[in-house]
């Protein structure tokens, strides 16, 4: 271990001379006196989390730019009020009524000046755009809402109507016990109907998702594509003015480059540091490290539409070849637990009888031989940047490649990036893909339907292309009851189907990691994603008004 750390430190010294801050040097001092720099790896293709499936937009930007009807407490995992100060569940879970908080102000930006606070029109506009395919806004900028599309919400919503200025009612075609939890995700961020009306008059609808307007604690101030995003505080924020006037998201270098920036003070916060860097982070007195259980899962998806992977026996055989314990030691360094289910162990519906797939390459070879499979060649698609559920996807792929070689299967690794990955995966040319999922909902439905339902194939979140009507029926049974025990039974049945069919192989459920400079205070690490930065401050800096 000492040799590894010494090698890494030498690399950091060498990198320091070549790493240039994404944020211009002349502005860094100003940020130090009036804000902080948050270093995160990823791309931003839209500022609307409704139109993203994961990544920086959902995990980091959404809590700053927008609010939702409901929130989830990061410590108790319970629903709590946000834009809706109270709500009612009627008709055994088929009708939901939200009473909005008064005097919530939208952000004032160079591209829009609001004339009124948030009201029911904004909520109706937001969700009609998503769910009503005939709505004039639905197809703007592509018309894809991956999370809600995977849940088939367009088919499940009967109506969304304004009862008065501060009351909105959702009527569903049938009861859905998960509905409130989905309204608490960042995918359900509320937009401004007044801003939409302005853009309609100006024939500039596409700007809605590129120049955001929300009610959140920070507003978009500057966007340098692929480099950095500057956020300015929303002075009229309903919870009170954020402590720091600005936050800069540095979207630059990954891996040791970002670690170098943290060590040299070019970053104040490092999101998702690699587990292999923990000892360096722990030993530096200038840094602090936070670890929390995460509602996430890393998994290997089999393309079940391609032979021989359309055979569950082949998928089981390949799974036996993967040395999961080695992944835990070489990728996560004690910051994850081996997954036995697509649900994290923290979920209330986790099946305690689930067992991690055994590592048995000899048995894998026997099974493949008995199926008449030899000289199998597979393509494994892998994201290039670190993820909340996997700090080193490429290294993980190399370990899986070596495991497969032991049973005579040749795996070719195909590195891909961002939305390009999702597009190419949906053309069905891949055999395997390393993927993962995290959610800001504590409801099991937010894992099962987006990842494995038939509807999720079209919404581009079901990367295994697996469709099982029996599995979908079990998920629907779980939604139709408000009784927790009945839902648990249904979700256990769903997990048993997955263990038999194995469209995906669960690998790990990772801790959330966050490293930051010692003078940064008030940073909350949530199991569900990044929390609001409104309460973040810096020791020794007088906050400018």
Q: What is the DSSP letter of 112?
A: B
Are 407 and 321 spatial neighbours (Cβ–Cβ below 8 Å)?
A: yes
**CA atoms of 107 and 253, how far apart (whole Å):** 31
CATH number assigned to the domain with residue range 67-209, chosen from the 4 options 3.30.70.240, 3.90.76.10, 1.10.599.10, 3.40.50.800: 3.90.76.10
* In the predicted structure, residue 19 carries a pLDDT above the cut 70: no
Domain with CATH 3.90.76.10 in the chain: 67-209
The answer to which of 94-103, 431-440, 520-529 has the lowest mean pLDDT is 520-529
Torsion angle of C-alpha atoms 193, 198, 203, 206, degrees rounded to 10: -50
318 token code pair: 């390949």
185 token code pair: 């995700």
Nearest by Cα to 104 from 165, 43, 156, 58: 165
pLDDT digits (tens, 9 = 90+) for 478-511: 999 889 999 999 999 999 999 999 999 999 998 8
What pLDDT score was predicted for residue 542? 59
Domain with CATH 3.10.105.10 in the chain: 296-511
3-state secondary structure at position 56: helix
Whole-angstrom CA distances from 529 to 61, 74, 80, 444 are 10, 9, 17, 16
Count of positions (residues) in the chain: 545
Report the 10 Å Cβ neighbour count for 24.
11
**CA atoms of 252 and 237, how far apart (whole Å):** 29
Give the DSSP letter string of 54-121: SSHIIIIIHHHH---SEEE-TTT--EEESSEEEEEEEGGGTEEEEEEPSSPPPPPBTTB--SS---HH
Task: Quote the CATH superfamily of domain 296-511.
Answer: Dipeptide-binding Protein; Domain 3 (3.10.105.10)
- Which residues does 380 contact at the CB level (< 8 Å), separation at least 6? 397, 400, 401, 411, 412, 413, 414, 430, 431, 432, 433, 434
pLDDT digits (tens, 9 = 90+) for 379-413: 999 988 778 788 889 999 999 999 999 999 999 99
Are 445 and 178 spatial neighbours (Cβ–Cβ below 8 Å)?
A: yes
Does the domain formed by 2-44+216-286+518-538 have CATH 3.20.20.70? no
Helix (H) or strand (E) holding 530: strand 529-530
**CA atoms of 49 and 61, how far apart (whole Å):** 8
pLDDT digits (tens, 9 = 90+) for 509-537: 988 888 999 999 999 887 776 789 999 99
3-state secondary structure at position 20: coil
**CA atoms of 158 and 128, how far apart (whole Å):** 11
**CA atoms of 422 and 488, how far apart (whole Å):** 31
Are 46 and 52 spatial neighbours (Cβ–Cβ below 8 Å)?
A: yes
Helix (H) or strand (E) holding 336: strand 336-338
Report the 10 Å Cβ neighbour count for 179.
23
pTM for the predicted model, two decimal places: 0.81
The answer to which of 40-44, 165-169, 408-412 has the lowest mean pLDDT is 40-44
């Amino acid at each position: 271990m000492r040799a590894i750390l010494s090698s890494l430190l030498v690399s950091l010294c060498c990198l320091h001379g070549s790493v240039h801050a994404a944020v211009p040097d002349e502005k860094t001092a100003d940020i130090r006196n009036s804000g902080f720099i948050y270093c995160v790896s990823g791309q931003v293709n839209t500022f609307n989390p409704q139109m993203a499936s994961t990544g920086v937009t959902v995990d980091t930007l959404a809590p700053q730019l927008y609010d939702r009807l409901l929130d989830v407490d990061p410590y108790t995992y319970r629903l709590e009020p946000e834009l809706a100060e109270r709500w009612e569940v009627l008709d055994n879970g088929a009708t939901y009524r939200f009473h909005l908080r008064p005097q919530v102000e939208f952000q004032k930006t160079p591209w829009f000046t609001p004339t009124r606070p948030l009201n029911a029109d904004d909520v109706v506009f937001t969700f009609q755009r998503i769910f009503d395919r005939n709505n004039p806004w639905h197809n703007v900028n592509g018309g894809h809402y991956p999370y809600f599309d995977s849940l088939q919400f367009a088919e499940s919503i009967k109506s969304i109507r304004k009862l008065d200025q501060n009351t909105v009612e959702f009527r569903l075609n049938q009861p859905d016990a998960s509905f409130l939890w989905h309204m608490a995700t960042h995918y359900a961020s509320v937009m401004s109907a007044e801003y939409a009306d302005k853009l309609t008059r100006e024939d500039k609808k596409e700007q809605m998702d590129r120049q955001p307007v929300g009610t959140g604690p920070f507003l978009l101030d500057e966007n340098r594509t692929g480099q950095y995003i500057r956020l300015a505080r929303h002075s009229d924020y309903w919870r009170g003015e954020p402590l720091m006037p600005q936050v800069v998201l540095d979207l630059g270098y990954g891996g040791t480059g970002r670690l170098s920036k943290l060590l040299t003070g070019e970053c104040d916060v490092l999101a998702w540091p690699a587990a292999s860097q923990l000892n360096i982070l722990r030993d530096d007195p200038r840094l602090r490290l936070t670890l929390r259980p995460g509602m996430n899962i890393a998994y290997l998806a089999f393309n079940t539409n391609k032979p021989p992977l359309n055979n569950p026996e082949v998928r089981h055989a390949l799974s036996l070849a993967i040395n999961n314990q080695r992944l835990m030691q070489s990728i996560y360094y004690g910051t994850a637990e081996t997954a036995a289910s697509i649900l994290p162990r923290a979920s209330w519906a986790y099946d305690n009888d689930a067992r991690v797939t055994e590592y048995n390459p000899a048995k894998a070879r026997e099974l493949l031989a008995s199926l008449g499979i030899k000289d199998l060649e597979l393509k494994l698609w892998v994201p290039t940047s670190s993820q909340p559920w996997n700090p080193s996807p490429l290294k993980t792929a190399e370990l899986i490649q070596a495991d497969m070689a032991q049973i005579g299967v040749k795996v070719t690794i195909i590195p891909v990036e961002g939305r390009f990955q999702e597009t190419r995966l949906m053309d069905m040319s891949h055999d395997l893909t390393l993927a993962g999922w995290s959610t800001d909902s504590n409801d099991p439905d937010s894992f099962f339907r987006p990842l494995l339902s038939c509807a999720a194939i079209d919404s581009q979140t079901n990367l295994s292309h697996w469709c099982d009507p029996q599995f979908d029926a079990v998920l629907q049974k779980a939604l139709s009851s408000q009784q927790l025990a009945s839902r648990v039974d249904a979700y256990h049945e769903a997990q048993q189907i997955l263990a038999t069919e194995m469209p995906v192989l669960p690998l790990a459920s990772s801790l959330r990691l966050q490293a930051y400079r010692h003078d940064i205070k008030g940073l909350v690490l949530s199991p569900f994603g990044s929390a609001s930065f409104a309460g973040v401050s810096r020791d020794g800096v007088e906050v400018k008004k």
